[in-house]
Structure 1
Amino acid sequence: MAKHPRDRFDEVPADLHRVGAHRAEARRGRGWVVFAWCALAVGVLVGAGVVYLGVANDSFQFVSPTSDETAEAGSGTPSDGASDGAGDDATDDTAAPTTPAETVAPADPASVDPDVTTITVLNGTTTSGLAGRASLALAETGWTVAGQGNADGTVATTVVYYADEADEGVALGVARDLGTTTVELSDAFPDSSVTAVLGADYTP
């Protein structure tokens, strides 16, 4: 065996009785930690295996818990409001239709018998001779004016009055040719079938 020269590592104090290396004391409980991790790993593997086998054999079915409720709601009976609405529609369908009121058209002067239907023109303004000029204008359009004169007072709007409902068309025709649209059923002028009272708005 080869001999080496002595160095500082060979100079060990005589009172040092150390032999070999000293290690720290092992911690307690480390074995339980390792065991717990092993048990957890085994549990995860077993659970994964069970799920895999169940899916492979169609043992698990993933169904939404609200699917049945939705189907029941869709196939349910209609609400009271819907029923009432249907009843109202049925009632409306069976109701008798309303007949609109007939619109009376202005009469044509040629269709009016002046011996039966008389026309009078009254001046309801302060303009002298206005009734005569209006009567002339009506005559030019084919109307026969039986009389003319002055109204009891002045008015702002020209109105054609008719004493009988049968003469409404004549009143509308006279009003049209006088440039107005206002006609009124009235018994204020019983001596004439149709009476036109000229107002301040009338322009010959």
Structure 2
Amino acid sequence: MPQPVKDRFDDVPRASGRVGAHRAEAPGMNGWLVLLWSFVAALVLIVVGIFVALLMMGRIALFPSAEETVAPAPEATGVVDTTYSVMILNATPEEGLDDQLRETLLNAQWPDDLISYSPAGQQDFAETTVYYVSEADQQAAIGLADLIGGAHVEQSDFYANLNDPEQKQLVIVIGLDRSSVQPDATEAPAE
């Protein structure tokens, strides 16, 4: 095998120890400093993780939209209109409630010929209700309900006056909420 050719670096004397930057000692790392930085990094990752989780679950919002405040709807106020005919039905076991309600209407200047009253076909109607037929009658029904001391108001054509469709009519069904006598629980329900 042939001998390698000599160059100028072959004559450099060999020194003991390390030579050059790549052979420099690593600077000493303090163990407590490394532990502190590890703790800070872990804490930052945990806080960011919780924030992202809350954001994804919708518990917080980055840019909350302005809450719309909805004003409460004004309460409907009725008008007492004495041109309506009123039918009073007593749907309780207590007798005379229909006559008492008739007297209340007469004291409020309701014409006697526009008020009719009778017992209803049932005696266990829960809540006193004023029924009206068309939307145009709603304000009068609310006014009548207020006049008799408060009652539920409901639209229904069940009690529409078929004999005289031109006459505006309201129907009051007196319920157990106005009665001191409760229906007998032993009676069998009507079929």
Q: What TM-score do you get using the length of structure 1 for normalisation?
A: 0.48
Q: Distance in 1 between matches of 2:57 and 2:140?
A: 48
Query: Structure 1 residues 85 and 131 mapped into 2: Cα distance closer, same or farther (>3 Å)?
Result: same
Q: Distance in 1 between matches of 2:97 and 2:137?
A: 24
Q: Distance in 2 between matches of 1:119 and 1:102?
A: 29
Cα distance, 1:118 vs. partner?
4.2
Q: Distance in 2 between matches of 1:195 and 1:136?
A: 16
List runs of 5+ in structure 2 lacking aligned partners. 1-27, 162-167, 180-191
Does residue 147 of structure 1 match 2:125? no
Q: Distance in 1 between matches of 2:31 and 2:61?
A: 45
Q: Distance in 2 between matches of 1:165 and 1:100?
A: 24
Counterpart for residue 174 of structure 2: 198
Instruction: Assess if the C-alpha contact under 8 Å between 1:160 and 1:197 holds in 2.
Output: yes
Q: Distance in 1 between matches of 2:58 and 2:93?
A: 65
Query: Structure 1 residues 199 and 142 mapped into 2: Cα distance closer, same or farther (>3 Å)?
Result: same
Counterpart for residue 55 of structure 2: 83
**Bigger-Rg structure (1/2):** 1
Instruction: Assess if the C-alpha contact under 8 Å between 1:123 and 1:131 holds in 2.
Output: yes
1:89 aligns to what SS in structure 2? coil
Aligned pair count reads 140
Q: Distance in 1 between matches of 2:135 and 2:72?
A: 14
Q: What TM-score do you get using the length of structure 2 for normalisation?
A: 0.51
Does residue 135 of structure 1 match 2:102? yes
Counterpart for residue 72 of structure 1: 41
Query: Structure 1 residues 176 and 82 mapped into 2: Cα distance closer, same or farther (>3 Å)?
Result: same
List runs of 5+ in structure 1 lacking aligned partners. 1-58
Does residue 164 of structure 1 match 2:140? no
**How do 1:174-189 and structure 2 match up within 5 A?**
174-189=144-159
Comparing 83-92 with 137-146, greater Cα deviation is found at 83-92
Instruction: Give CA-to-partner distance per residue, 1:55-105, whole Å, 9 cap, x none.
Output: xxxx9957254311222234447223133156863687278x485773543
Question: What amino acid does structure 2 have at the position aligned with 1:175?
Answer: A
Question: What amino acid does structure 2 have at the position aligned with 1:185?
Answer: Q
Cα distance, 1:148 vs. partner?
0.8
Question: What amino acid does structure 1 have at the position aligned with 2:154?
Answer: E
Write 1 or 2 for the structure with the bigger share of helix: 1
Q: Distance in 2 between matches of 1:172 and 1:91?
A: 45
Which has the higher relative contact order, 1 or 2, with Cα contacts under 8 A spaced 6 or more apart? 2
Q: Distance in 2 between matches of 1:127 and 1:71?
A: 80
Q: Distance in 1 between matches of 2:73 and 2:105?
A: 27
Q: Distance in 1 between matches of 2:169 and 2:63?
A: 46
**How do 1:24-39 and structure 2 match up within 5 A?**
none
